Amino acid sequence: MRRLFYTACAAATIALSLPVAQSFADAGGPSAERQEQWKQAREQRLQQRAEILDARLVGFEASLALTSDQEKDWAPFEAALRNAAKPREPWTRPDGDQAGNEGRHSPIDMMRRFSQRMSERSTGLLTLANAASPLYASLDDKQKLVFDATLRGFLRPGPFGPRRAGPWRFDRRG
């Protein structure tokens, strides 16, 4: 009796799961309406990030209380900081297809894309350091303390600061 019950349950499970599996196979991904919603949500997030960046830069400049001589070095630094904070485009494959649109990518492709992203990030940080050096050299000790603390907040990964310890922390501890 038990064997008959288990056999009937297995047969019912298979019979009921086939139409559900077929409906998932026919779906073919998110609908055009859903993709449009995702696109609009991404644009809203990017707009919010830009507004927050503007406000933080205004606060950064105000907290430094720059002199007229230091003001001329602020503009290149601000431009470099905006460039470093610019949102990145979605990863694309060499054939132009966006990552995630077509199956799995090989580990070699992933390493190459990651290396390219790291190279772009490195170039951006070097540009930022070159733009910040004249401004930093003209600051007094109090302004340097404010600059260090505020810039550290700009460079941390994630929206709410660090997620792990690492060499990016710029700590002055020995």
The pLDDT tens digits for 23-59 are 555 556 677 888 889 889 988 988 898 898 899 999 9
Average pLDDT for the chain = 78
Confidence (pLDDT) at 157 = 60
Q: How far apart are CA 52 and CA 60, in angstroms?
A: 12
Contact yes or no for 77/64 (Cβ under 8 A): no
Q: Which residues contact 56 (CB under 8 A, 6 or more apart)?
A: 153, 154
For the entire predicted model, the pTM comes to 0.61
Tokens 């940080």: give the residue. 125
Residues 6 or more apart whose CB falls under 8 angstroms from that of 156 comprise 162, 168
Cβ neighbors of 105 (< 8 A, separation 6 or more) are 93, 99
What are 89-117's pLDDT values in tens digits? 665 555 555 544 455 678 898 888 889 88
